[in-house]
Amino acid sequence: MSKTKLTINNNGSVKIEGDFEIVDRNGNAYGLQGREIVSICRCGLSKNKPFCDGAHNGHFEHEAIAFDLPPKKV
């Protein structure tokens, strides 16, 4: 099985690709109807949360540049 890949898009959603399951806080799975790629809302404007519906266009700014987190606390 390949890794699940999350892509943080500039000014938009988080794209999830691969073999994954999305559940609510009670552990109930969302019915993804066989999709292997979905986009998750980051802006809070989607009417289809947690999924992106494009409502962020022109209303959300974030340049996605990867960086290293500080060392993990032990």
Q: Give the predicted TM-score (pTM) of the model.
A: 0.87
Q: What are the DSSP E strand ranges found in the chain?
A: 5-8, 14-17, 37-40
φ, ψ of residue 6 in degrees (nearest 5): -110, 125
Specify the amino acid at residue 5: K
Q: Hey, where are the domains in the chain?
A: 1-64
* pLDDT at residue 2, as a whole number: 73
Output b/e per residue, 35-47; b: 16+ Cβ within 10 A: eeebbebbbeebe
Q: What is the mean pLDDT of residues 49-63?
A: 94
Query: Which pLDDT belongs to residue 38?
Result: 98
